[in-house]
A and B are shown apart, each in its own frame.
Chain A
Amino acid sequence: MAFVRFRVGFWAVCFILALSKIAAADNLSPELGVLLEEGLRSKGPVKVEQFLQLDPIQKFCSDSGVNIHSEEAGALMSEALEQIQYPDDDDYVGDWREGERIAQSGKGLRFNDSDDTINGGNCYACHQIRKEELAYGTLGPSLYQYGKLRGYSMQVLRYTWAKIFNPQAFLICSNMPRYGHKGILTMGQMRDIMGLLLDPKSPVNE
């Protein structure tokens, strides 16, 4: 009898565990959630539990038939815009030399990185920026002469900051990471990248 009770208890615990596992991935289709939960392993700075919590934008953009002109898209974009944090004292433009280093570095937040790796921006993976750097990707538009072409007005500064902070605020399901919103870069690092793009003395604007 005691054994039977143990068995029942055992299965009840299994059942509750199974439920909670699925609940952990409740943003995904349950089958896909289970597949990811079982097939992935936390390593370095990448944690499975955190990974499985899709936020509303990730959920929306993971649909293969996504309609980026829908009402929902509009709502997600305005929410993203409202959440953008701007630097104090309108201090937007940091050190372009440091910005160049950040734009070059693809380090951070991969499972082979460590928790204390300093994250890079990896902007060159997708953008042309300085003329001298020929190993640039083409997923995004060229940012060469970014400031020279657009000017250095407060409007340009605010837009560019916001775009780097959360590109989804301007184009839903953009392929560009949300550097500020997701905490990939610090405010200070973002300021330095702004310097690379928007300091008139930066070689980008020669």
Chain B
Amino acid sequence: MFNFVRLVLVISALGLTHTYADDETTSGIQEYRDLLADINPAELWILSGEDLWFSAAGPNEASLEECDLGKGRGVTKGAYVELPRYFPDVGKVMDLEQRLIHCRMVIQGFSRDEVTSYPFTKRGEETSAIEFLVTFIASESKGMRMNIPLEHVAEQNMFDLGKQLFYLRAGSHDFGCITCHSGDNKRIRLQELPNFRNAEQARKTYGSWPAYRVSAGEVRTMQHRLYDCFRQQRFPEAIYGDDLITALIMFLAKSADGGVYDAPAMKR
């Protein structure tokens, strides 16, 4: 209970900084981090996600405890640092969110549309169940090392496609991920850009998502981050849950291999 009260205090305080300029927000975040080293609003997402994982839901009135995230039925510990991976039961590589789509359809009996139509919380509307679940499962790998061995040929193939995508320069502005994320100490306006060709930066960056975004007042997933980078790079809209994003995530996860996973983090 005490923790919860503290949490509410932090959240309302963050809500205030939100109206300040970028710089102040950044130093504000650092201040809260130092002040409350052990607390992050994302804790709320973890708790709700855990709840969702264990609750019966959908036409089948089933919980997700039957869902195999790659480490056996119902195992959430350490699942995230080994994803994306090849799943023999479906014969393809899936990232966490695709696997959750699969489990919620097959085990709980939801339709595809029901589990894909609202992936990212809109301002002022209810939080997406996907973001709750992802934050919970990701948090179950906190402190573990990223482990993406690419043993299966389908995994290697997914990685190759992700790499091609990372280097693809297209659209009205000729942008690719490479345009903004291949040099050290670069910025767009004031926003710092991680260099994914640098293993240390790739590990630190990949290992920090999902993250509580102070600017949004929400936890955002890697899927959302990439969705928004597609927008910035003048690419068409990425369809939620499709292999395209899984390929990119495979490339980024492999680039972060060996790094200590440390999410959910707190960001601007």
| Stretch from B11-19, B36-44, B162-170, B259-267 contacting the other chain | B162-170
Q: Smallest CB-CB separation from A136: which chain B residue?
A: B189
Q: CA of A42 to CA of B232 in the docked complex: distance in angstroms?
A: 15
Per-residue CB contact flags for chain B residues 163-194 toward chain A (1 = under 8 Å, else 0) read 11111111111111001100101111111010
Query: In whole Å, how far is A169's beta carbon from the nearest beta carbon of chain B?
Result: 13
CB-CB under 8 A from B168, the residues of chain A are: 28, 32, 62
Q: Smallest CB-CB separation from B168: which chain A residue?
A: A62
Query: In whole Å, how far is B184's beta carbon from the nearest beta carbon of chain A?
Result: 11
Q: Contacts A38-B242, A54-B170, A136-B189 given: A109-B163 contact, CB under 8 Å?
A: no
Taking Cβ atoms with an 8 Å cutoff, the residues of B that contact A are 22, 157, 161, 163-176, 179-180, 183, 185-191, 193, 230-232, 234-239, 242-245, 247
Interface of B is mostly: mixed
Instruction: Establish whether residues B236 and A51, one from each chain, have CB atoms under 8 Å apart when the complex forms.
Output: yes
Query: In whole Å, how far is B183's beta carbon from the nearest beta carbon of chain A?
Result: 7
Asked if A40 is an interface residue, CB under 8 A from chain B, the answer is: yes
Q: Smallest CB-CB separation from A48: which chain B residue?
A: B236
Tell me the A14-53 residues at the B interface (CB within 8 Å): 28-29, 31-32, 35-36, 38-43, 46-48, 51-52
Instruction: Establish whether residues A138 and B185, one from each chain, have CB atoms under 8 Å apart when the complex forms.
Output: yes
Instruction: Establish whether residues A35 and B239, one from each chain, have CB atoms under 8 Å apart when the complex forms.
Output: no
Q: Smallest CB-CB separation from B158: which chain A residue?
A: A35
Tell me the A84-137 residues at the B interface (CB within 8 Å): 109-112, 124-126, 135-137
* Known contacts A38-B239, A61-B169, A184-B173, then 4 further A-B pairs from the complex at CB < 8 Å, ordered by chain A residue: A32-B168, A51-B171, A110-B234, A175-B179
Instruction: Establish whether residues B174 and A125, one from each chain, have CB atoms under 8 Å apart when the complex forms.
Output: no
Asked if A182 is an interface residue, CB under 8 A from chain B, the answer is: yes
From the candidates A43, A110, A111, A139, name the one contacting B186 in the complex (CB within 8 A). Answer: A139
Q: CA of A138 to CA of B188 in the docked complex: distance in angstroms?
A: 7
Q: Smallest CB-CB separation from A124: which chain B residue?
A: B189
Q: Contacts A41-B239, A46-B236, A111-B231 given: A137-B188 contact, CB under 8 Å?
A: yes
Q: CA of A45 to CA of B102 in the docked complex: distance in angstroms?
A: 32
From the candidates B164, B169, B176, B237, name the one contacting A40 in the complex (CB within 8 A). Answer: B237
CB-CB under 8 A from A57, the residues of chain B are: 174
Size class of the A contact interface (CB-based, 8 Å): 35 or more
Query: In whole Å, how far is A121's beta carbon from the nearest beta carbon of chain B?
Result: 11
Tell me the A134-191 residues at the B interface (CB within 8 Å): 135-139, 173, 175, 177-178, 182, 184
Query: In whole Å, how far is B128's beta carbon from the nearest beta carbon of chain A?
Result: 19
Asked if A70 is an interface residue, CB under 8 A from chain B, the answer is: no
Instruction: Establish whether residues A43 and B237, one from each chain, have CB atoms under 8 Å apart when the complex forms.
Output: yes
Q: CA of A173 to CA of B167 in the docked complex: distance in angstroms?
A: 11
CB-CB under 8 A from A46, the residues of chain B are: 171-172, 234-237
Q: CA of A150 to CA of B191 in the docked complex: distance in angstroms?
A: 30
CB-CB under 8 A from A109, the residues of chain B are: 171-173, 234
From the candidates B174, B190, B232, B243, name the one contacting A110 in the complex (CB within 8 A). Answer: B232
CB-CB under 8 A from A82, the residues of chain B are: none
Residue with the greatest number of chain A CB neighbours at <10 A, chosen from B190, B231, B236 = B236
Q: Smallest CB-CB separation from A179: which chain B residue?
A: B173
Q: CA of A80 to CA of B157 in the docked complex: distance in angstroms?
A: 35
Instruction: Establish whether residues A41 and B172, one from each chain, have CB atoms under 8 Å apart when the complex forms.
Output: no
Query: In whole Å, how far is B129's beta carbon from the nearest beta carbon of chain A?
Result: 22
From the candidates A39, A51, A175, name the one contacting B244 in the complex (CB within 8 A). Answer: A39
Q: CA of A35 to CA of B168 in the docked complex: distance in angstroms?
A: 13
From the candidates B188, B230, B238, name the one contacting A125 in the complex (CB within 8 A). Answer: B188
Instruction: Establish whether residues A43 and B165, one from each chain, have CB atoms under 8 Å apart when the complex forms.
Output: no
A-B contact list, 10 entries, CB within 8 Å: A32-B161, A35-B247, A40-B235, A40-B237, A41-B238, A62-B164, A64-B167, A109-B171, A110-B231, A126-B188
